[in-house]
Structure 1
Amino acid sequence: MEERWESLFADAEARFEALRRDDMEAEATDRSRREFALVSFVDRLHGAIGAEVDVWLDAEPTYGVVERVGPDWMLLSGEGRREILVPLAAVSAVSGLTERTAVPGAAGAVEGKLDLRYALRRLARDRISVRVALRGGRVAFGTFGRVGRDFVELAEHLPGEARRAATVRTTRSIPLGALRAVYAG
């Protein structure tokens, strides 16, 4: 009779342990989902620094390795180490992100303030020739000049030419919202 009771208790303990394990797994899954719900797109991109990604833009697909991420932009290195500055507002989708997930608020206090205008000012300061992909599929070549609060000025000239008064065809003011990608170098 005692064996029967021991068997009954052992069976009950095994069932209890299985239920406890299931509850713990469900709680861990739920906690993981809640934590992931706090991750922003920028945080997700921070977790992908160094990964090769495929970025869908309005005008064209863009491929590259994620080098840096700002609060509203990402910098990719493309073929031949060509840099591609992509405003996040222009991104339709990104594939190739690693399974790593960044911690919410991964960008530091200073880095979080380095917005798209900061990146454009760097290009303007260094007088780097760029190809600019615009909303609607238009493309322009030139060198950035001044960067305003919500626009940038592009001194248009032929690709490969240095920015000189004689080579500049026109200066075009471009709203930041119209930028789809900036190809430098």
Structure 2
Amino acid sequence: MRWEERLLDLFDDLEQQAAGLALVERDALVAEQSRSEYAAVALADRLHASVGTRLLLDVGGPGALDGRLVRAGDGWCLLEVGGVEWVVVAAAVRAVRGLVDAGRSPEVRPLTARLGLGSALRGLAGDRAQVLLHRVDGSTARGRLGRVGRDFVEVLVGDEGGDGAAGRGHLEVLPFATLAALRAG
């Protein structure tokens, strides 16, 4: 083999090594960009993308809730567990299993998905149905939802009759931050 051929072989080898190094560098940049983009994904984005999926939520208060995610709102979600619908406060969720491997950013969510916990509670309050409230500290209360403020809900606790007559229960004001989940019944 002549020196010219050896030199060309050397140059070919160096070019291949350089191309390989460029690919490694590009892969590292893509991975870093993916990590930085993923850092902007919120749990709410994953929940909104998982509507219709079966999830297992570990919720402070009621514990494990295994059911189908029916709806996700701003700071809450609706989970159907054995035919019973649970309104779950997102801040009380300690762990989730079963989320899809995607996110749905706020810009592409329907308008109704932007409704907060207060809107969900106002809807339930309008039904005047009995609810079982689970607080984040593990305690429960049974009653009827009343007026809903910006960051609290009034609950007539112990009202079994439903007519709101005096002496049938007592009014408690519960800050949203104390709520973990609630269900009808």
Gaps of 5+ in 2: none
- Given candidates 61, 64, 68, the residue that maps to 2:71 is 68
**Residue aligning to 2:102:** 100
CA distance in 1, matches of 2:66, 2:108: 24
Percent identity at matched positions?
36
CA distance in 2, matches of 1:130, 1:137: 16
Q: Which stretch shifts more, 71-80 or 27-36?
A: 71-80
CA distance in 1, matches of 2:161, 2:25: 66
- Given candidates 9, 12, 35, the residue that maps to 1:10 is 12
**Aligned length, in residue pairs:** 181
**Residue aligning to 2:119:** 118
Q: Output the TM-score relative to the length of structure 1.
A: 0.84
- Given candidates 80, 84, 87, the residue that maps to 1:85 is 87
**Residue aligning to 2:41:** 39
CA distance in 1, matches of 2:16, 2:106: 39
SS in 1 for 2:28: helix
Bigger-Rg structure (1/2)? 2
Deviations 1:71-97 (A, max 9, x none): 2111112112x2111112212222222
CA distance in 1, matches of 2:161, 2:11: 85
Aligned 8 A contact 1:129 1:162 in 2: no
**Residue aligning to 1:133:** 134
**Residue aligning to 1:54:** 56
CA distance in 1, matches of 2:18, 2:129: 67
Over the residues paired in the alignment, what is the CA RMSD in angstroms?
A: 2.4
Q: Output the TM-score relative to the length of structure 2.
A: 0.84
CA distance in 1, matches of 2:23, 2:58: 42
Q: Which stretch shifts more, 140-149 or 100-109?
A: 100-109
Amino acid at match of 1:91: V
Amino acid at match of 2:25: D
Amino acid at match of 2:120: A
State the shift of 1:40 in Å.
Answer: 1.9
**Residue aligning to 2:184:** 184
Aligned 8 A contact 2:73 2:112 in 1: no
CA distance in 2, matches of 1:170, 1:134: 17
Aligned 8 A contact 2:70 2:80 in 1: yes
Deviations 1:117-149 (A, max 9, x none): 000001111233321101321112232121122
CA distance in 2, matches of 1:17, 1:123: 63
Instruction: Say yes or no: does 1:164 pair with 2:167.
Output: no
